[in-house]
Amino acid sequence: MGPAVQRIYFDHNATTPVHPAVAERMAAVLTEDFGNPSSIHHFGQRSKALIDQARSAVAALIGADPSEITFTSGGTESDNLAIRGAAESLEKTRRHLIASAIEHEAVLNTLKALARRGALTTLLPVGESGIVSPDALAAALTEETALVSVMHANNEIGTIQPISELSTLAKARGALMHSDAVQSAGKIPVDVKALGVDLLSISAHKFHGPKGIGAIWIRRGVRLPPIATGGKQERGRRAGTENVAGIVGMGVAAEIARTKMVEDGARLSSLRDRLEDGILRAVPGTVVNGVRSPRVPNTTNISFDRVEAESLLIALDLEGIAVSTGSACSSGTLEPSHVLKAMGFPPHRTQNSIRFSLGTSNSQADVDHVIAVLPGLVEKLRHLTRTPVRA
Ligand SMILES: Cc1ncc(COP(=O)(O)O)c(C=O)c1O
């Protein structure tokens, strides 16, 4: 057997490692604080107190009141609760739903499902900047619009949307405003009041918490019907015995993220810039997508001319470097990234992009290793397909 490959993880937008302090607290809850939070006795009340504590920590991460936080099974469920809930509660008079064309599937496929049941839907274009234009939203809003859903930061390219401006427009037409903040919470400051939204989704595993736990913030006064009926947990907004260990883990992760975000963000953005500059300099035929727009500090999305992204991902993985592609392989053909497609890029850019998403464990040495390894891999793949680099 050869020497073990040293692994470098550059896929933090997919998920992050659980922080050791989070894992430690969760282990204690699983074994010691196992009571059902609905139980009246000591064990139940202890679990309930732990949930309340976590609720305060999660609320503090997004500038919210703890009573407005509902724990869910993650970003997907939060998005579903927001969109299906808004559609259902306003269905009779308002049948129109608006989202950006670059939303996560949790939003896009929920809209598609509701469209099959008669909802009218509009997807807002973004253009090369990867940013939703307020003018496009203003033009799309009607008296029938129930909800506008625009993500705070995009998972593929990291662009940050002008949510407060969009919220003002939505509110003026009587629509609810939802933002999927799964990729921004824990990375950049998120303040529900400053954003002016009514509903906001977050997910713990994107900021060093466990998978399978998230939250939706619901502005006080907004009524959303639950999507699962059952017990009265979470003030009747989300039935089912609470995932106490997950909730506690999310609370600890939120607390750590809140206190370290600014420092970590500054370090990550300088590493990200070093990575981008290094790749652009060392590999001809490369371009950074969304580079001129405001972006979260840890993300870069780079198209490599004449290199199939999937092949480059595999070549990097063999070198111990984990990244991801925006495009998805389905039935043997490479589907272009819906985000880059919405930005109006041609196939050689939408099918050839790699996302590097950095995290706290990444070092300058990791970045320099990628910059050293990448030119050779790209060269080899281009040689295999015998295609010259586009000028
Ligand atoms: C923008 C965005 N929204 C929603 C989700 C789904 O979150 P979860 O995995 O917690 O269901 C993700 C996860 O990749 C995401 O990036």
Domains of the chain: 8-15+260-385 (3.90.1150.10), 20-257 (3.40.640.10)
Whose tokens are 């040689």? That residue is: 383
Closest CA to 374 of 286, 295, 289: 286
Q: Find the 202 Cα to ligand 1 centroid distance in Å.
A: 8
Rounded to the nearest whole angstrom, what is the distance from the C-alpha of residue 376 to the centroid of ligand 1?
Answer: 33
Task: Please state whether beta strands 120-124 and 145-149 pair in parallel, antiparallel, or not at all (unpaired).
Answer: unpaired
Q: In this structure, what token pair is assigned to residue 16?
A: 């992050």
What is the pLDDT at residue 335? 79
- pLDDT for 22: 98
Q: Measured from the CA of 212, which atom of ligand 1 is nearest?
A: 10
Structure tokens at 256: 């750590």
Residue 388 DSSP class? P
What is the reported pLDDT for 387?
Answer: 59
pLDDT for position 226: 87
Sign of the dihedral through C-alpha 172, 95, 344, 359: positive
- Centroid of ligand 1 to alpha carbon of 196 (angstroms): 21
* Residues whose CB falls within 8 Å of the CB of residue 213, separated by 6 or more in sequence, listed in order: 71, 72, 73, 74, 203, 204, 205, 243, 246, 247, 249, 250
Cβ proximity of 374 and 285 under 8 Å:
no
| Best of 178, 182, 298, 339 for a ligand 1 pocket test (most atoms within 8 Å of beta carbon) | 182
Closest ligand 1 atom to the C-alpha of 155? 16
- Partners of 11 in beta bridges: 357
Q: Give yes or no for a contact between 158 and 291, defined as CB atoms under 8 angstroms apart.
A: no
- The pTM of the full predicted model, rounded to 2 decimals, is 0.96
Instruction: Tell me whether residue 72 is one of the annotated catalytic residues.
Output: no
Q: List ligand 1's pocket residues with C-beta within 6 A.
A: 74-76, 79, 104, 106, 151, 155, 180, 182-183, 203, 214
Nearest Cα to Cα of residue 130 among 272, 391, 348, 337: 337
CA of 146 to the centre of ligand 1 (A): 23
Which pLDDT score is estimated for 163? 98
Q: Which of 115, 139, 328, 329 is catalytic?
A: 329
Phi, psi of 64, rounded to the nearest 5 degrees = -110, 170
Beta-carbon-side half-sphere exposure of residue 186 (alpha carbons within 13 Å) = 29
Instruction: Report pLDDT for 164.
Output: 98
**pLDDT tens, residue order, the chain (391 aa):** 556 778 999 999 999 999 999 999 999 999 999 999 999 999 999 999 999 999 999 999 999 999 999 999 999 999 999 999 998 876 677 899 999 999 999 999 999 999 999 999 999 999 999 999 999 999 999 999 999 999 999 999 999 999 999 999 999 999 999 999 999 999 999 999 999 999 999 999 999 999 999 999 999 999 988 888 999 999 999 999 999 999 999 999 999 999 999 999 999 999 999 999 999 999 999 999 999 999 999 999 999 999 999 999 999 999 999 999 976 655 555 678 999 999 999 988 998 999 999 999 999 999 999 999 999 999 999 998 765 555 5
Identity of residue 21: A
